[in-house]
Structure 1
Amino acid sequence: MNKIISNYIQDNKQGILDQWIDRTKEEADDRVVRLVSDRVFHATSKEFIDLIISNFKGSSEEYKEKLTDFAEKVVRLGWPLTFVTKGLHTFNSIVFEAMQKDEIIIPDNQMDFVIEFDRWAAPMSNEIVSIYSSTWERTVSLQKMALQELSAPLIPVFEGITVMPLVGTIDTDRAKQIMENLLKGAVKHRSEVVLIDITGVPVVDTMVAHHIIQAAEAVRLIGAKCMLVGIRPEIAQTIVNLGINLNQFTTKNNLKRGIEAALELTNKKIVSLEGAK
């Protein structure tokens, strides 16, 4: 009976695919369909049908490899798991209805075919959920690592002078990342002066200030000076109102003045060349 279903799918593959695409587009959330072009949607849909057929054929090694590749692709496309599992159910319905119409499935053998469809569909659905979930977790983990690396970069601007521009909200986890990047970067670049630029930090409260003070103290312990730049008037007022003491390191209102002060601290200066425009 498995062979009967498999052969039927293979012989009517294009018609099943066309029906599946039409029905899926009708039932799917518009956001899912808009995520990719029609060409990519059709190609991915065909790959999904091929995946189902390979499962019917029972080639477990090839099927598992295709399933993993497909799961990684749909995660990249942003298709939700419910869309994929519902697609499997839609496929079953199309094939079952078509086989009834062609009188391959009749009242006398209908229950046997129902059991057969369920026998292969349930494990496949479970496998899709498992691989999709693990692929999603791995993707999220890699993205998180990439964001952490980008969230607190230490940039060398002159010999002995580095800048860490901070953008966005600073929570405890990000503060740890800032501290780690700050110390590693200061040692790596042999920094004499480190400028922490908070121009892009929307709110500086007691917790954020505490983390910045800790970072500055850590930099001082490895032999470098720390300077806080980008203090806007509203941030300065907040710091004063909260009674936060930033007297232990230099502050400047923008990065330009901070770099000028850092150049003085390292006995450097920028001069205009004679005759330069």
Structure 2
Amino acid sequence: MIHDSSEVPRVPMQLTSGCLVASIQIDLNDEVLFRFKRDLLEEIRQTQTRAVLLDVSGVDIMDRIEFEAICEIMRMSRLMGARAMLVGVKAEIACSLMDFDLDFSQMETALTLDQAFEKLQSNGASNGGRHESMQ
């Protein structure tokens, strides 16, 4: 059950270089993810941004359900015309996610925000909704 949204922590977001950066520095749970999804999609709509970076470098633990929720948020962002990239996955999280045998073929990633901005610049953040998969 979702509680009063004023009690649920917010994921901070800012528009930087024409890109919406969401810095996830809090523990993920259903309520946080629900509010984040709603806030992010509204921010994409309002700013008409063409790229979204989900910075998870502050996340220490991520289970399969939380990861799938992040993937869903990335797909929703793409449906709204924004290129979505997952940034800052820690080594221990990457190892545990690989154990879940998930499909990463449609996920665009970067190790750091600097690398993410470089990828956006080299590929063009405004690519008409087309997204390249990471190999």
Which has the larger Rg?
A: 1
Indicate yes or no: 2:3 matched with 1:145: no
Does 1:239 pair with 2:68? Answer: no
Assess, with a 3 A threshold, how the Cα gap between structure 1 residues 153 and 267 changes in structure 2: closer, same or farther.
closer
Unpaired segments ≥5 residues, structure 1: 1-140, 269-277
SS class of match (1:242): coil
Q: TM-score, normalised by structure 2?
A: 0.82
RMSD: 1.9
Match of 1:211 among 54, 69, 73: 69
Question: Cα deviation per residue 1:38-60 (whole Å; 9 max; x = unaligned)?
Answer: xxxxxxxxxxxxxxxxxxxxxxx
Which residue in the other structure is 2:84 paired with? 226
Tell whether 2:124 aligns with 1:266: yes
Q: Compared with structure 1, are the counterparts of its residues 187 and 205 closer, same or farther at alpha carbon in structure 2 (3 Å cutoff)?
A: same
Pairs aligned (count): 123
Higher relative contact order (CA 8 A, sep 6+): 2
Structure-1 residue corresponding to 2:44: 186
| Correspondences of 1:87-236 after superposition (within 5 Å) | 145=6, 148=9, 151-159=10-18, 161-236=19-94
Q: Report the 3-state secondary structure (helix = DSSP H, G, I; strand = E; otherwise coil) of the residue aligned with 2:119.
A: helix
In 1, Cα distance between equivalents of 2:49 and 2:110 = 19
Partner Cα separation in structure 2 for residue 186 and residue 206 of structure 1: 25
Contact 1:168 1:202 in 2 (8 A): no
Give the structure with the higher percent helix. 1
Contact 2:110 2:116 in 1 (8 A): yes
Distance 1:157 1:175, change over 3 A: same
State the Cα deviation string for residues 224-272 of structure 1 (Å, max 9, x = none). Answer: 111000012111111111212222121111111112112223369xxxx
Q: Is the 8 A contact 2:85 2:109 kept in 1?
A: yes
Higher strand share: 2
**Do the aligned partners of 1:199 and 1:231 also contact (CA within 8 Å) in 2?**
yes
